[in-house]
Amino acid sequence: MELDDILASLFPAGHEVRVAHGRIAGHGVLRDGRRIHVVGLADGIALGVEDAASLAAQVLAIARQTDAAPILMPIDSSSQRMSRRDELLGLNEYLAHLAKSLLLAEQAGHRTIGLLYGGSAAGAFIATALATGTLVALPGAHPEVMDLPSMARVTKLSLDVLREKAKATPVFAPGLDNLARTGAVHATWDPAQPLTAQLEALLAEPAGDDARDLLGQQRQGRPKAAAIAARVVHEATRGG
């Protein structure tokens, strides 16, 4: 789905969302009049230091508001921007700051919902969509932690061999389905139905603790993570 159609379907009552330089900003209104902040990335942008700082500033401004209005984060990006300048300036801090800002806003009562409608990869994915409290996706989204050609180069395996291996496990190959099976994606929305209803239904669910590892276990994409994390917590807390 295109961003305009998505926004129209999400906010039939209207929205004030602008896209500039690949950054999405504004707000929309649900059918019951509830205000939804919208902050995100568009046009497959590579997330650099300026973008991250700009997004974080918006998120922090929302966090200061006491309206408890949710933040919707539509994402269509590539990876972080790969450049000498970005790394020289400490891109890791900018991306981490964005992730922290999202978590702070959530802590301050603003639910954060990622909406993956295009691509995303690597550090950009971690700092945005994966830092939200709930991540949903639309069909056609194409997240890619690591592209297969790069993997082929590093692992010295051919693309064909990698594609064959990808059939046996969702754990490394790109794509929405693979990622969903590891528990990263809470649900994939149905574009044929009004998105506004699907968002309202999601907001009606209580926001719980991070349960992505349990989801990955159920969906058999991450067989061990939930149990290992739980066992560490158990061993660390049994003393006192």
Partner 1 sequence: MSVISALRNETTSWYEASARQRIDALVDRGSLTEFVGPAARETSPHLAIFGLPTQLDDGIVVGEAALDGRAVLVAAQEGRFMGGAFGEVHGAKLVGLLRAARATRRDVLICFDTGGVRLQEANAGELAIAEIIRALVLARLAGVQVVGLIGGRAGCYGGGGLIAACCSTLIVTEQGRISVTGPEVIETNKGVEEFDSKDRAFVWRTMGGKHRYLIGGADRLVADSAAAFRAAAIGALSSPTVLDAGTLDAEQARLERRLARFGTAEDATEIWSALGIDPVDDLPALDESSFLARAGGKRESADGAR
* DSSP H helical ranges for the chain: 3-10, 49-64, 84-88, 91-107, 122-127, 148-155, 159-168, 176-181, 195-204, 212-218, 225-237
231 makes contact with partner 1 (CB under 8 A):
yes
Rounded to whole angstroms, what are the CA distances from 151 to 101, 145, 157, 160?
32, 10, 8, 12
- Judged by CB under 8 A, the chain residues 32 through 51 that form the site for partner 1 are 49-50
Contacts of 69 (CB under 8 A, 6+ apart): 27, 34, 35, 36, 37, 62, 110
104 makes contact with partner 1 (CB under 8 A):
yes
**Which one among 38, 95, 195, 203 touches partner 1, defined by CB under 8 A?**
95
Segment lying near partner 1 (by CB under 8 A), choices 31-39, 67-75, 171-179, 200-208: 171-179
**Which one among 63, 71, 116, 141 touches partner 1, defined by CB under 8 A?**
63
Cα–Cα dist 178/88, whole Å: 34
- Judged by CB under 8 A, the chain residues 113 through 132 that form the site for partner 1 are 122-123, 125-127, 130-131
Q: How far is the CB of 153 from partner 1 (least distance, A)?
A: 8
Rounded to whole angstroms, what are the CA distances from 35 to 32, 97, 204?
9, 25, 15
**Which one among 25, 103, 197, 214 touches partner 1, defined by CB under 8 A?**
103
CB 136 within 8 A of CB 187: yes
Judged by beta carbon, residue 185 or residue 195, the one nearer partner 1 is: 185
73 makes contact with partner 1 (CB under 8 A):
no
182 makes contact with partner 1 (CB under 8 A):
yes
233 makes contact with partner 1 (CB under 8 A):
yes
Cα–Cα dist 87/78, whole Å: 17
Rounded to whole angstroms, what are the CA distances from 54 to 27, 58, 152, 217, 236?
16, 7, 35, 36, 39
80 makes contact with partner 1 (CB under 8 A):
yes
79: closest CA among 126, 22, 141? Answer: 126
Judged by beta carbon, residue 169 or residue 218, the one nearer partner 1 is: 169
223 makes contact with partner 1 (CB under 8 A):
yes
150 makes contact with partner 1 (CB under 8 A):
yes
Segment lying near partner 1 (by CB under 8 A), choices 5-13, 16-24, 93-101, 199-207: 93-101
57 makes contact with partner 1 (CB under 8 A):
yes
**Which one among 169, 193, 218, 220 touches partner 1, defined by CB under 8 A?**
169
